Homo-oligomer: A and B are copies of this chain.
Amino acid sequence: MRFDPFLATRTSRMGASAIREILKVVSAPGMVSLAGGIPAKESFPMEIMEELFSQVLRRYGSNAFQYDLTEGFPPLREALVPFLADRGIRVEAKQILVTTGSQGVLDGVAKILISPGDGIAVEAPTYLGAIQAFNPYEPRYVRLETDEEGVVPESLDEVLHKKNVKFVYLVPTFQNPTGKTLSVKRRMEIAQIICQHRALLVEDDPYSMLRYRGEPLPPIYTFAPENTVYISTLSKVFAPGLRIGFFLAPPPLDRWLVLAKQGVDLHTSTLNQALAAEYIGGGYLAKQVLKIVSLYAPRQEAMLKAMEKYFPSSFNWTKPEGGMFIWAEGPKELDLEQVYYRAIERKVAYVPGKFFFTEPGEGMSTMRLNFTCSDAPTLEKAIRTLGDVLAEAVVPKRKVHAV
C-alpha cells in the first residue's frame, strides 16, 4: 500500500530532519561526541533513586500508578512553588501546570495558537526542538536579530510593529545553541516591549540552574507575568528520562493548554511526578544542583581553555557563565557542515550550526559544542583534534586544488 497520498498537508513540514541523519555516526565506537544536547549520566542522583521510590510507595501507594489530573500531580505542583520562588517567581500551586518534558508545552502553545501561516518570532539561531514542535502547525518564522547577549530589543520592537506574530519564542538564559544570556537590563526592555505591543512571550528556561559563574538572573516572566508563558523542566537537574516539564501561562491560555495536553497524553506519568515531588520536597534537588555544577564547571573550563589553545585565530566563540553549550563561528567562507565529515573521520563529532537556523543558507560557518558529556581530559583531547581539523579547513582549498 502507498499511504503517501493519505498524508495531511502539514506533514510535509515534519520532514525527517537532516540533523538526525548527520548525527547517526555519533555513537560509533571511539567517537567523542561534542554533538550531544544531553546531561551527563553522572549528573543523575542514582544513589537516592531507591530511597525516592520507597518514599513514593509509602506516601502515595497505588495512587502513584493510577490515572491522574491533566494539570499535574498535586504534590509536585506544591513542591514547585518554593522551587519557582527561588527564581523570583511567586505563584500558587494551582497556576503551575505539568507537561511531558518541556517539549509537551512547546507542542501545546503552537497547537492552540498557530493557524497555518501565522508568525512566530524566533532568535536566529534558535532551539531546534522548538522548531520541531512548531513546524507541524505550519507557522511562518520571523527572524529576530541577535548580538553577543542574545536577542536585540530594537529588532523585537520592529518585528512586533511590522509583522503579525502570534508569539515570540526566546531562550534567555544559556541559550541552546549559543549559550548566550540576556542581561537584566535587556530582560526588562524586552518585557516592556512585549507588554507595549500586547504581545505574547514564550520564555523557555531549561538551563538557568546550571550556572557556573556570576549571579542568577530573574526570568523575563517576572517583569511581564501577564504576557509570558514560562516553561522549565527537571531534565537537566534530575533526570531527562522521567520527562517532567512544567509551565505557567496567563488565562485563558492555561486552560487551553490543559485541553490540548488532554488530547495528546491525558496526563504526564504519575509515578515520575511523584518521584519529582519527593526529590524537590525532600531537599535533594538543591544538593544535587551543587553536585551537577561542580561536575560541569571544570568541563566547561577545560573546553574553553583548549579552544583558546587549539582553535584557529580566525574563530570566535561564546564564553557562557553556565548551560551546556559553546557556540563557535569561523571565517564566513567556511562550511562547517563539510568540515563535520572530516572531524568524524578523526572521531570527534559536533553539530554544524546551520541546523539551528530557520532560513536555509544561514549559519554555515557556525558550530555547537557540548561540554557536559565527557570529562576534562577527553574534552581537551577532542578540542585539540578538532582544532587541527579546523586549521586544515581554513587553508584556502582552491590553492590546494590548483596544485
Set B42, B54, B61, B266: member contacting A103, Cβ < 8 A: B266
Which residues of A33-52 are within 8 A (CB) of B? 38-39, 41-42, 44, 46, 49-50
Q: In the complex, are the beta carbons of B240 and A66 less than 8 A apart?
A: yes
CB of A104 closer than 8 Å to a CB of B: yes
Set B8, B50, B104, B270: member contacting A118, Cβ < 8 A: B8
Given the interface pairs A6-B113, A252-B4, A269-B241, the reply to whether A259 lies near B53 with Cβ below 8 Å is: no
Q: Could you mark each residue 41-76 of chain A with 1 if its beta carbon is under 8 Å from any beta carbon of chain B, else 0?
A: 110101001100110010001111111100000000
Looking at A1, A57, A104, A242, the one whose CB has the most chain B CB atoms below 10 A away is: A1
Q: In the complex, are the beta carbons of A136 and B41 less than 8 A apart?
A: no
CB of A272 closer than 8 Å to a CB of B: yes
In the complex, A256→B377 CA distance in Å?
A: 40
Q: Could you mark each residue 116-141 of chain A with 1 if its beta carbon is under 8 Å from any beta carbon of chain B, else 0?
A: 00100000000001001101110000
Given the interface pairs A54-B50, A259-B16, A263-B14, the reply to whether A268 lies near B243 with Cβ below 8 Å is: yes
CB of A173 closer than 8 Å to a CB of B: no
Q: In the complex, are the beta carbons of A8 and B66 less than 8 A apart?
A: no
Count of interface residues, chain A, beta-carbon cutoff 8 Å: 79
CB of A10 closer than 8 Å to a CB of B: yes
Cβ of A297: which chain B residues have Cβ within 8 Å of it? none
Cβ of A163: which chain B residues have Cβ within 8 Å of it? none
Q: Could you mark each residue 84-104 of chain A with 1 if its beta carbon is under 8 Å from any beta carbon of chain B, else 0?
A: 000000000000000011011
Cβ of A64: which chain B residues have Cβ within 8 Å of it? 241
CB of A198 closer than 8 Å to a CB of B: yes
CB of A111 closer than 8 Å to a CB of B: yes
Given the interface pairs A115-B9, A263-B135, the reply to whether A62 lies near B50 with Cβ below 8 Å is: no
A71 to B: closest C-beta gap in Å: 12
Cβ of A260: which chain B residues have Cβ within 8 Å of it? 14, 136
Cβ of A100: which chain B residues have Cβ within 8 Å of it? 100, 243, 264-265, 269
Q: In the complex, are the beta carbons of A63 and B41 less than 8 A apart?
A: yes
Count this chain's copies in the assembly.
2
Instruction: Using CB atoms, name the residue of chain B closest to A240.
Output: B67
Cβ of A14: which chain B residues have Cβ within 8 Å of it? 112, 256, 259-260, 263
CB of A400 closer than 8 Å to a CB of B: no
Given the interface pairs A267-B243, A268-B243, the reply to whether A6 lies near B49 with Cβ below 8 Å is: no
Q: In the complex, are the beta carbons of A66 and B241 less than 8 A apart?
A: yes
Which residues of A363-394 are within 8 A (CB) of B? none
Instruction: Using CB atoms, name the residue of chain B closest to A54.
Output: B50
Q: In the complex, are the beta carbons of A44 and B57 less than 8 A apart?
A: no
Using a CB–CB cutoff of 8 Å, the interface residues on chain A facing chain B are 1, 3-4, 6-11, 14-16, 38-39, 41-42, 44, 46, 49-50, 53-54, 57, 61-68, 100-101, 103-104, 107, 111-115, 118, 129, 132-133, 135-137, 166-167, 198, 200, 226-227, 235, 239-243, 250-253, 255-256, 259-260, 262-272
